[in-house]
Structure 1
Amino acid sequence: MQGLMMQQPLLVASLLMHAERHHGEQEIVSRRVEGDIHRYRYRDLAQRARRMANALADLGIKPGERVGTLAWNGYRHMELYFAVSGSGSVLHTLNPRLHVDQLAYIIEHAEDRVVFFDLTFLPLIESVAPRVSSTKVFVAMTGRAHMPRDHGLAATLLCYEDLVEDHGDVFDWPLLDENSASSLCYTSGTTGNPKGVLYSHRSTLLHTYAAALPDSLNCSARDVILPVVPMFHVNAWGLPYIACMVGAKLVFPGPALDGKSLHELIENEQVTLSAGVPTVWQGLLAHVDTTMGSFSSMRRTIIGGAPCPTAMTATFQARHRVDVLHAWGMTELSPVGTVCSFKAHQVSLPMEERYALQAKQGRSVFGIDMKIVDMDGKELPWDGIATGDLFVRGHWATRDYFGNDDTPPLRNGWFPTGDVARIDPDGFMQITDRSKDVIKSGGEWISSTEIENIAYLHPEVTTAVCIAARHPKWDERPLLLIVKKPGGALVPDELLTFFDGRLARWWKPDAVVFVDSVPLGATGKVLKNRLRDQFGDYYLSA
């Protein structure tokens, strides 16, 4: 016997319809590329999204066709999130931090019909445009007064605000198949060409439900959310969708992601929750420390994209009373997979034990399952000791890549993440390394992540990266690369001594190399492959 319940498709446009109907007065604040602060409300967002949906139809964009965006976090980008997907086309967010060769490959591979871009990226668009045949129309996301007078585009260049103003706000969002594609995001492509992950309306809505839950990102209508994580990187971890679902105030930082600009925005708009990668928070905390500042409203921050050092967690929580939610995910997971939210019996643990727990990536949100396996594919126990390759599956996990002509990625229905991890009896997962970054010394495994976490505890360390360097006797040994705090007097022997008693003696790096900076990828992650190319023979040439 079937249940007697209504059947309504799970569609992205329904989030906007809900926000307009139930939270129409809620504010959206954006720092614009033009330099000013823009304010409007959810009802304005909904009206302008309908106008843009009509404009897309006039441009000849058909259901299923891809529409590219090359933009910062802002209200116009938010409008495209709903105008494109809601009308049945596919929103393709492009990462401007990628190399021009990768961008050209992605646009051509996705066959983007039109690309919207913020003025910041006009030089990038001018470089990419001659190399793509799929895109005939480009739209500058600005008003007529700021349109570029001279540009090198042979293709058509349109003005975003003209498109909005020239079209009416009457548009009926179509009842789409919830399994149809809604958005497209490519992996950062640190090895080989980037791969496209094609999300559906259904997967996006289920991800939004799960990510908003109290034990996930814990969002509500009482929050003021500042997504520092870019909207071009896995849909800003779903926060624009979540904000519509719960009716939270949104604050968009635009291109100004330095510590001073972020702190001003947090204080002026009374932000309660923010989200970003550790490299961004390093700049914010450094600014607050230098200016003897504080956080008057922010009480939670979500940190992901790379392991969060315990020292950063302690600074946020002990000094600034800002709780840290350590999270993990992937482009292939939409992206949220786990969140380090305490269980009841863990809340009262001693501080050091809580910090150790928060160093883990956390437990699965409902809708995602995970397991660790050994080299033979045998599932390993959740004892907090066994370490193996991490596999996941779930309602918003990819089953294949867009336009993939290679072997499908799944293994017996599970997606191999490329991470090496352990899981404790409470279900808390901790990544010990990327499979390509783990160090094998004398036949034994060493975690580069755990070495980095200890290095970050030293007060004179700004950035710590541990890589495997080839060794004449042990095959590989850990080599520690350090960016010192300005004016610091740290020397290698002092830092190596700092490791004594904090980890197994044979895990201790054999050497420390001070560097001015480390290379970062398009999503703020350290490019260890480049450092291995540069320093991989360090012990052989010593």
Structure 2
Amino acid sequence: MQKKQFNVIDILQHAATWYGDVEVVTNSVEGGVHRIGYAKLYDRTSQLANALQRLGVNSGDRIGTMAWNTWRHLECWYGLSGIGAICHTLNPRLFPDQIEYIVNHAQNRFIFVDTSFISVIANVLDKLPTLEGLVVMTDKENMTDDMLKIGIPVYCYEELLEAETSDFVWPLLDEDTASSLCYTSGTTGNPKGVLYSHEFNLNHSMISAHGDVFDLSAKDSFLLIVPMFHANGWGLPLSVPMVGGKLVLPGPFMDGKSLYDFIKVEKCNKTCAVPTVMTILIDHLDSNNLQIPSMNEIYIGGSAVPQSMIEGFEVRYNVDVNHGWGMTETVVGTFNCHLPFMDELSFEERMKVRCKQGRPPFGMEMKIVDNEGNSLPHDGVAFGKLMVRGPRVIERYYKAKESALDKDGWFDTGDVSTIDKYGFMQITDRTKDIIKSGGEWISSVDIENTAVGHPEVQIAACLGVKHMKWEERPLLIVVKKEGCDPSKSSILDIISSEHAKWQLPDDVVFIDEMPLTATGKIDKKPLRTKYEDFLIEG
């Protein structure tokens, strides 16, 4: 067979050649809907490549992007990687000191930034010594004098492109050449960088399109809600164009009405996001008695999906929820694909299976082990540390001297899980979140998922807090749904229907707003700080 050096740009080149008129549709930052076909997008990406070379960007340079999901951000993904530079997606939701650390650790020379986030960069600009300039991802009409006076060279994205031709010869790259860089959200210590190669992105994109993962084809209209700066965008900015699917990008408009309107107009049949965003969508649908008939499948990952959400989408909207698991270090790790045995199950039994994070696709090895490293049975009961290895698993963090793997090549995910006889993995907790009360283990995830089944609970977090007798006991932190006033007893009744008495939270605390991490997950650090002595003081 012939050998060919793969470059990420080959994906967009293929889409331009064979699906040139298929659209990338964006709810643009400046307002209004922008449409562009893959052929035109490829031409503009070639113009960007010429502009990058004129700016002096070289192979291996880390170039940042801080942007919403838009067609311009997509051009940056392909253009930067295509010339051999590294597209470093920056999460604007991180704290300023984290952004400062990440930009300096990666030694970004330039940052491509949406107008929404210029102030985020400006806030730490004097602490970024390697940064040579900003490229504002807009047109001349939307550039302002304030942008130009930021203190370093500032370029207008559209003006850069207009000065270039679309003739560009893409370099031949070794398959191990770095393509993209994404940092973890830094829940413990400084964020850590994960460097993806061109080979990884090809492998991951092809696996992602598989029928038991995202099941992608040219018939799809895919609403990409998950941010392109979150875990390599779950690989979808590459895998959807690879198969010629229509890519629908929400830009900064993530409210329920905007998402619903986009789904309706663009006839989206698939979408993906973390549970907090899907809560916004389903609440909007419920409150306004709306339907989304074009939507067939919703892919949810990032944290555990409550059974009530899976049931709600299926029963009220005829939409299948595919629960997945992954992390920056793996991108997509497992998906809850439908197996024939599930056809024989009752609705309730099937929902229990759908709540699991699913099975690994080809190339992802997975096991659970006890504290001594002994493998545990796949019986759906035994739980232990979740370990993974394979060509889509990190070997070491960016610039780290030490490998992230054990002596046998396994990566410790930091999750605690079970695996059943059908191969379905289910996260029972993060290692740091599991509650040990009187020598017994309590899953905070299970308590949280049961609690949000209460019709008046918006979101819930379960913490292990100090207890004089039992060392730790669960405490439930709840945000009520708007206009609702659930009692503590009604919430505990819901939980007691599925959990033993000793597993029930000792108390329920209501708060107005749940702290979230930069990737939309519940941030338990400030909750622990505030409530760790709650039961002792009480």
Coarse TM-score class (shorter-chain normalised): over 0.9
- Which residue of 1 is the match for residue 434 of structure 2? 438
- Which residue of 1 is the match for residue 121 of structure 2? 125
Aligned with residue 419 of structure 1, among 415, 421, 428:
415
What amino acid is aligned across from residue 374 of structure 1 in structure 2? D
Q: Deviations over 1:340-390 (max 9, x none)?
A: 011112134211111100111000011111111100011111111110000
Q: Deviations over 1:73-116 (max 9, x none)?
A: 00000001110001110000000000111111111110111100
- Which residue of 1 is the match for residue 64 of structure 2? 68
Q: Deviations over 1:430-479 (max 9, x none)?
A: 00000000000001111001111111111111111101011000000011
Q: How does 1:316-327 map to 2 (within 5 A)?
A: 316-327=313-324
- Which residue of 2 is the match for residue 361 of structure 1? 357
1:530 Cα offset (Å): 1.4
- Native 8 Å contact 2:453 2:494 kept in 1: no
- Which residue of 2 is the match for residue 410 of structure 1? 405
Alignment of 1:290 with 2:287, yes or no, is: yes
User: Partner of 1:189: helix, strand, or coil?
Assistant: coil
Q: How does 1:85-234 map to 2 (within 5 A)?
A: 85-151=81-147, 152-234=149-231
How far apart, in 2, do the equivalents of 1:499 and 1:188 lie?
31
- Mean Cα displacement is larger for which, 71-80 or 11-20? 11-20
- Which residue of 2 is the match for residue 265 of structure 1? 262
- Mean Cα displacement is larger for which, 490-499 or 439-448? 490-499
- Which residue of 1 is the match for residue 232 of structure 2? 235
What amino acid is aligned across from residue 498 of structure 1 in structure 2? I
- The percent of aligned pairs where both chains have the same amino acid is 47
Aligned with residue 25 of structure 1, among 21, 42, 51:
21
| TM-score, length-scaled by structure 1 | 0.98
How far apart, in 2, do the equivalents of 1:454 and 1:346 lie?
22
How far apart, in 1, do the equivalents of 2:117 and 2:226 lie?
18
**Mind listing any 5+ residue stretches in structure 2 that lack a counterpart?**
none
User: Partner of 2:428: helix, strand, or coil?
Assistant: strand
How far apart, in 2, do the equivalents of 1:447 and 1:491 lie?
23
**Mind listing any 5+ residue stretches in structure 1 that lack a counterpart?**
none
Aligned with residue 495 of structure 1, among 472, 491, 494:
491
How far apart, in 1, do the equivalents of 2:343 and 2:43 lie?
44
- Which residue of 2 is the match for residue 306 of structure 1? 303
Q: How does 1:495-534 map to 2 (within 5 A)?
A: 495-534=491-530
- Native 8 Å contact 2:20 2:38 kept in 1: yes
Aligned with residue 332 of structure 1, among 329, 333, 338:
329
How far apart, in 2, do the equivalents of 1:130 and 1:488 lie?
46
- Which residue of 2 is the match for residue 256 of structure 1? 253
1:7 Cα offset (Å): 0.9
| TM-score, length-scaled by structure 2 | 0.98
How far apart, in 2, do the equivalents of 1:345 and 1:497 lie?
32
How many correspondences in the alignment? Answer: 536
What amino acid is aligned across from residue 437 of structure 2 in structure 1? S
User: Partner of 1:499: helix, strand, or coil?
Assistant: helix
Q: Deviations over 1:453-506 (max 9, x none)?
A: 111111111111101011000000011111112222311122212223311221
1:235 Cα offset (Å): 2.4
How far apart, in 1, do the equivalents of 2:82 and 2:392 lie?
19
User: Partner of 2:182: helix, strand, or coil?
Assistant: strand
**Cα RMSD for the two superposed structures:** 1.0
1:404 Cα offset (Å): 1.5
User: Partner of 1:363: helix, strand, or coil?
Assistant: coil
Q: Deviations over 1:296-323 (max 9, x none)?
A: 2111110001100000001111100111
What amino acid is aligned across from residue 405 of structure 2 in structure 1? L
- Mean Cα displacement is larger for which, 390-399 or 494-503? 494-503
User: Partner of 2:242: helix, strand, or coil?
Assistant: helix
1:122 Cα offset (Å): 1.3
What amino acid is aligned across from residue 258 of structure 1 in structure 2? D
Alignment of 1:466 with 2:465, yes or no, is: no
How far apart, in 1, do the equivalents of 2:226 and 2:184 lie?
15
How far apart, in 2, do the equivalents of 1:250 and 1:128 lie?
33
How far apart, in 1, do the equivalents of 2:383 and 2:533 lie?
28
How far apart, in 2, do the equivalents of 1:388 and 1:290 lie?
40
What amino acid is aligned across from residue 80 of structure 1 in structure 2? C
User: Partner of 1:347: helix, strand, or coil?
Assistant: helix
Alignment of 1:12 with 2:5, yes or no, is: no
Q: Deviations over 1:145-176 (max 9, x none)?
A: 11121235211000000111101100111110
What amino acid is aligned across from residue 307 of structure 1 in structure 2? A
How far apart, in 1, do the equivalents of 2:159 and 2:115 lie?
15
Q: Deviations over 1:381-431 (max 9, x none)?
A: 1111110000111111110011124x4221120111000000001110000
Q: How does 1:318-397 map to 2 (within 5 A)?
A: 318-333=315-330, 335-397=331-393
User: Partner of 2:429: helix, strand, or coil?
Assistant: strand
What amino acid is aligned across from residue 532 of structure 2 in structure 1? G
User: Partner of 2:277: helix, strand, or coil?
Assistant: helix
- Native 8 Å contact 2:323 2:335 kept in 1: yes
- Which residue of 1 is the match for residue 531 of structure 2? 535
How far apart, in 2, do the equivalents of 1:40 and 1:348 lie?
45
Q: Deviations over 1:224-264 (max 9, x none)?
A: 00110001112221111011110000111000100011101
- Native 8 Å contact 2:6 2:172 kept in 1: no
How far apart, in 1, do the equivalents of 2:375 and 2:250 lie?
43
What amino acid is aligned across from residue 525 of structure 2 in structure 1? N
What amino acid is aligned across from residue 135 of structure 1 in structure 2? L
How far apart, in 1, do the equivalents of 2:469 and 2:6 lie?
58
- Mean Cα displacement is larger for which, 432-441 or 488-497? 488-497
How far apart, in 1, do the equivalents of 2:498 and 2:9 lie?
51
1:9 Cα offset (Å): 2.3
